[in-house]
Amino acid sequence: MAWTRRDLKSGDYVFFYRDGNSHNSFQHPSFRGRAELRDPEMKDGDVSVILKNVTINDTGTYECWIIVGHSGSSEPAAPRLTNNTDLTVVDSGGGAGHTEGGGDKGGGAGHTEEGGITDEERKDKENKDVNVGLVVGLLVVGVLLSFVAFMIIRNCTYVKETFYKQVPQREGGQSKE
Protein backbone atom coordinates (compact mmCIF):
# COMPACT_ATOMS: atom_id res chain seq x y z
CA MET A 1 0.00 0.00 0.00
CA ALA A 2 1.35 3.42 -0.86
CA TRP A 3 0.17 6.98 -0.30
CA THR A 4 1.56 9.39 -2.87
CA ARG A 5 1.09 13.03 -3.77
CA ARG A 6 0.63 13.71 -7.46
CA ASP A 7 3.47 16.23 -7.66
CA LEU A 8 6.10 13.90 -6.13
CA LYS A 9 8.48 12.14 -8.49
CA SER A 10 8.04 8.43 -9.07
CA GLY A 11 9.39 6.34 -6.22
CA ASP A 12 8.84 9.05 -3.59
CA TYR A 13 5.97 8.30 -1.25
CA VAL A 14 4.11 10.04 1.53
CA PHE A 15 3.73 6.65 3.22
CA PHE A 16 4.75 3.17 2.08
CA TYR A 17 3.58 -0.12 3.67
CA ARG A 18 4.49 -3.65 2.60
CA ASP A 19 4.60 -7.08 4.25
CA GLY A 20 3.20 -5.81 7.55
CA ASN A 21 5.64 -2.90 7.98
CA SER A 22 5.95 0.75 7.01
CA HIS A 23 9.12 1.59 5.10
CA ASN A 24 10.55 5.05 5.80
CA SER A 25 13.29 4.54 3.22
CA PHE A 26 10.70 4.92 0.43
CA GLN A 27 9.26 8.12 1.89
CA HIS A 28 10.00 11.52 0.46
CA PRO A 29 12.26 13.29 3.02
CA SER A 30 9.62 15.95 3.77
CA PHE A 31 7.21 13.25 5.06
CA ARG A 32 9.60 11.16 7.19
CA GLY A 33 8.41 10.97 10.78
CA ARG A 34 5.16 12.81 9.98
CA ALA A 35 3.00 10.15 8.31
CA GLU A 36 1.48 7.17 10.09
CA LEU A 37 -1.47 4.82 9.73
CA ARG A 38 -4.57 5.99 11.58
CA ASP A 39 -5.24 2.34 12.48
CA PRO A 40 -2.02 0.26 12.45
CA GLU A 41 -4.12 -2.92 12.40
CA MET A 42 -6.03 -1.65 9.33
CA LYS A 43 -9.31 -3.00 10.69
CA ASP A 44 -12.14 -3.06 8.17
CA GLY A 45 -9.69 -2.09 5.42
CA ASP A 46 -8.97 1.36 6.89
CA VAL A 47 -5.70 2.44 5.28
CA SER A 48 -6.07 6.12 6.21
CA VAL A 49 -2.88 8.02 6.94
CA ILE A 50 -2.50 10.86 9.42
CA LEU A 51 -0.04 13.56 8.41
CA LYS A 52 1.34 15.48 11.39
CA ASN A 53 2.69 19.02 11.57
CA VAL A 54 1.17 20.08 8.26
CA THR A 55 2.52 23.13 6.48
CA ILE A 56 1.40 25.06 3.44
CA ASN A 57 3.83 22.91 1.43
CA ASP A 58 1.65 19.84 2.13
CA THR A 59 -1.13 21.19 -0.08
CA GLY A 60 -1.87 18.81 -2.93
CA THR A 61 -3.77 15.79 -4.18
CA TYR A 62 -2.98 12.61 -2.27
CA GLU A 63 -3.67 9.15 -3.65
CA CYS A 64 -3.74 5.75 -1.99
CA TRP A 65 -2.62 2.85 -4.16
CA ILE A 66 -3.03 -0.77 -3.13
CA ILE A 67 -1.47 -3.82 -4.72
CA VAL A 68 -2.90 -7.14 -3.66
CA GLY A 69 -0.72 -10.04 -4.76
CA HIS A 70 -2.25 -13.27 -5.98
CA SER A 71 -0.37 -16.28 -4.70
CA GLY A 72 0.47 -18.76 -7.40
CA SER A 73 -0.01 -16.25 -10.21
CA SER A 74 2.88 -15.57 -12.56
CA GLU A 75 1.50 -12.13 -13.49
CA PRO A 76 2.21 -9.22 -11.15
CA ALA A 77 -0.86 -7.61 -9.60
CA ALA A 78 -1.75 -4.15 -10.92
CA PRO A 79 -1.93 -1.28 -8.44
CA ARG A 80 -5.44 -0.04 -7.74
CA LEU A 81 -6.30 3.55 -6.78
CA THR A 82 -8.52 3.35 -3.68
CA ASN A 83 -8.57 6.95 -2.48
CA ASN A 84 -8.07 10.39 -3.95
CA THR A 85 -7.90 13.23 -1.39
CA ASP A 86 -7.37 16.92 -2.00
CA LEU A 87 -5.67 18.67 0.92
CA THR A 88 -5.46 22.44 1.15
CA VAL A 89 -3.41 24.02 3.92
CA VAL A 90 -4.12 27.70 4.49
CA ASP A 91 -1.54 29.84 6.28
CA SER A 92 -3.27 31.08 9.42
CA GLY A 93 -0.63 33.68 10.17
CA GLY A 94 1.25 31.66 12.76
CA GLY A 95 1.90 28.03 13.40
CA ALA A 96 1.04 24.99 11.40
CA GLY A 97 -1.94 26.37 9.48
CA HIS A 98 -5.50 25.29 8.90
CA THR A 99 -6.32 22.25 6.81
CA GLU A 100 -9.17 21.74 4.43
CA GLY A 101 -9.76 18.82 2.16
CA GLY A 102 -11.71 15.67 1.54
CA GLY A 103 -11.53 12.32 -0.12
CA ASP A 104 -13.86 10.02 -1.91
CA LYS A 105 -13.55 7.25 0.71
CA GLY A 106 -11.52 5.96 3.61
CA GLY A 107 -10.21 9.10 5.31
CA GLY A 108 -7.32 11.10 3.99
CA ALA A 109 -3.97 12.70 4.46
CA GLY A 110 -3.12 15.50 6.83
CA HIS A 111 -4.90 16.44 10.00
CA THR A 112 -8.10 15.93 8.07
CA GLU A 113 -10.71 13.28 8.46
CA GLU A 114 -13.46 12.33 6.05
CA GLY A 115 -15.17 15.42 4.73
CA GLY A 116 -12.03 17.52 5.23
CA ILE A 117 -12.39 18.54 8.88
CA THR A 118 -9.46 19.11 11.19
CA ASP A 119 -8.91 17.16 14.41
CA GLU A 120 -10.05 20.20 16.41
CA GLU A 121 -13.26 20.54 14.36
CA ARG A 122 -13.89 16.80 14.77
CA LYS A 123 -13.54 17.09 18.57
CA ASP A 124 -15.93 20.07 18.60
CA LYS A 125 -18.42 18.04 16.57
CA GLU A 126 -18.07 15.08 18.96
CA ASN A 127 -18.70 17.39 21.94
CA LYS A 128 -21.81 18.80 20.23
CA ASP A 129 -22.98 15.25 19.48
CA VAL A 130 -22.54 14.37 23.17
CA ASN A 131 -24.51 17.48 24.21
CA VAL A 132 -27.34 16.64 21.79
CA GLY A 133 -27.38 13.05 23.05
CA LEU A 134 -27.53 14.23 26.65
CA VAL A 135 -30.44 16.59 25.95
CA VAL A 136 -32.37 13.91 24.05
CA GLY A 137 -31.68 11.38 26.80
CA LEU A 138 -32.90 13.75 29.50
CA LEU A 139 -36.06 14.52 27.51
CA VAL A 140 -36.81 10.81 27.13
CA VAL A 141 -36.29 10.24 30.87
CA GLY A 142 -38.55 13.22 31.64
CA VAL A 143 -41.33 11.91 29.40
CA LEU A 144 -41.05 8.43 30.93
CA LEU A 145 -41.18 9.81 34.49
CA SER A 146 -44.23 11.92 33.57
CA PHE A 147 -45.94 8.86 32.14
CA VAL A 148 -45.16 6.76 35.24
CA ALA A 149 -46.43 9.54 37.54
CA PHE A 150 -49.62 9.82 35.47
CA MET A 151 -50.18 6.06 35.66
CA ILE A 152 -49.62 6.02 39.45
CA ILE A 153 -52.05 8.90 40.01
CA ARG A 154 -54.61 7.31 37.67
CA ASN A 155 -54.26 3.94 39.42
CA CYS A 156 -54.62 5.54 42.87
CA THR A 157 -57.74 7.39 41.74
CA TYR A 158 -59.21 4.17 40.33
CA VAL A 159 -58.47 2.23 43.53
CA LYS A 160 -59.92 5.01 45.67
CA GLU A 161 -63.10 5.22 43.60
CA THR A 162 -63.49 1.43 43.58
CA PHE A 163 -62.88 1.20 47.33
CA TYR A 164 -65.46 3.85 48.18
CA LYS A 165 -68.04 2.21 45.90
CA GLN A 166 -67.61 -1.10 47.74
CA VAL A 167 -67.71 0.27 51.31
CA PRO A 168 -71.31 0.80 52.48
CA GLN A 169 -72.01 4.37 53.46
CA ARG A 170 -73.63 5.40 56.77
CA GLU A 171 -76.02 8.13 56.99
CA GLY A 172 -74.21 11.41 57.11
CA GLY A 173 -71.46 10.32 54.68
CA GLN A 174 -69.40 8.19 57.15
CA SER A 175 -68.48 4.61 56.32
CA LYS A 176 -69.01 1.68 58.69
CA GLU A 177 -66.07 0.09 60.37
pLDDT digits (tens, 9 = 90+) for 5-54: 998 888 889 999 888 888 888 889 999 989 988 888 888 888 888 999 99
- pLDDT surpasses 70 at 158: no
pLDDT score of 81: 81
**Euclidean distance between CA atoms 5 and 23, whole angstroms:** 17
pTM strictly above 0.85: no
Residues 6+ apart with CB under 8 A from 45: 106
- Candidates 101, 67, 66, 104; CA nearest to 84 is 104
AA identity, residue 39: D
Distance CA 91, CA 97 (A): 5
Residues 6+ apart with CB under 8 A from 82: 47, 64, 65, 66, 105, 106
Alpha helices for the chain (secondary structure H): 119-166
* 81 bridge partner residues: 65
